[in-house]
Amino acid sequence: MARGRRRIVIRDSKKTALRLAFVVLILIATAGLAVFLALSLKSCGTKLSIRTMPLQSSELSEGTGDGLLYVRDGMLNFYNYKDENGNFAKYLSGTPTGIAGTDGIKAVWSENSVQIIDAPFDIAPGGRIKALRAGSMHVAVCIKKNNGDETVTVYNSAGQQVWELEFAEGSLVDFGFSEVSGRTLWTMELSVNSGSPRTTITTYDLSRMSATGVINVAGQLVERVCFTGSSVFVIGTETLVRYSSSTNREIYRVQLHGFRVTDIAMDGANLRLLLMPRNGGSASTVRILTVEQKDVANESALTLTLDDGLVSCHLLGGNLIAVWDGTVRLYDKKGKTVETLSLPVGSTLASKKLDDKHILLERSGEFDLLTLGK
């Protein structure tokens, strides 16, 4: 017997229409509420986040680009920013005086030994270790020899010595690796024999173990060096000088007008510099100088007068982060406040920029990790 079709009978079309209208109104109201909440969340700020770190003020800590290294109870600990599976804790063979690292190599050192993480043995270079810098695949160690001379000795990730540079006593003032590749080593020497400071910056290619360029700066002290793909920026006490990274030729100079550079960051292809008055002036007045990597600087400057009680401020890419006791503010490149974050209870004493996305805040003996973006 054939099965009959089911008939849908609308008994009251007026009531049904009212019910449908009511359902439509509910859906519209729900969608409107969702949009309102989304806008509200956006206005409350989603760029900054903060978390408490297991650190104490007496413990060594250092950012490595991919995470945070710190020493506690005779162990080297690593906190990975993005993946907790990358965290580790390793026993140390002694009590370190310093730590350094990048995403490619990490090391700790004391006055007489270096321990590269995952290398098969510790390094005893023979002399007093003054400093260590980490590149992408190597560490460079400044060692003061018994005769007073100094060397910069380069080791690979296996702890093998691959190169050594010698310097007269007192001539070496700084050294490090290029921010671009981490494989270009640079050294900075200072001479005052002529009565005027003369700084020599030399770059070395570790793949060829040879010098690749020399820059001489006279008439001012050099406080900082910054490498980009096409430039070497030399920051002095009086001027900012841009050199070509390929020819070491000076391209332009920009006067700093009595300001000192406290931080730098890349904003796309442009270099941004955070300046504060060198002598006197308000500690809450900051100036942000932007220069281009062209034949002329095309510089532009933005001056901000921040609230009193400023603890510190940093550049993170195109943004300015300002820290007060209990408050952090994020400013865009035009100087507009885009987010305000209240800090946990406790006096904010200091802050340290780890990289272009992370700042370590110290407050009453505890530490918080401030992150910009995801």
Instruction: Give the per-residue pLDDT at 357.
Output: 95
Alpha helices in the chain, H assignment, sequence order = 13-44
Q: Please provide the distance, in angstroms rounded to a whole number, between the alpha carbons at the two ends of the chain.
A: 66
Instruction: Give Cβ neighbours of residue 211 (< 8 Å, ≥ 6 apart).
Output: 202, 203, 204, 205
Please, are residues 177 and 189 in contact by the beta-carbon 8 Å criterion? Answer: no
- What pLDDT shows up at residue 46? 57
Look up the pTM and report it. 0.84
Q: For the segment 96-153, what is each residue's pLDDT rounded down to a tens digit?
A: 999 999 999 999 999 999 999 999 999 999 899 999 999 999 999 999 988 888 999 9
**What CA dihedral angle connects 51, 267, 349 and 41, to 10 degrees?**
-40
CB 273 within 8 A of CB 266: no
Q: Which residues of the chain have pLDDT under 70?
A: 1-46, 280-282, 374
For the chain, percent of residues with pLDDT exceeding 70? 87
**How does the average pLDDT of the chain come out, rounded?**
87
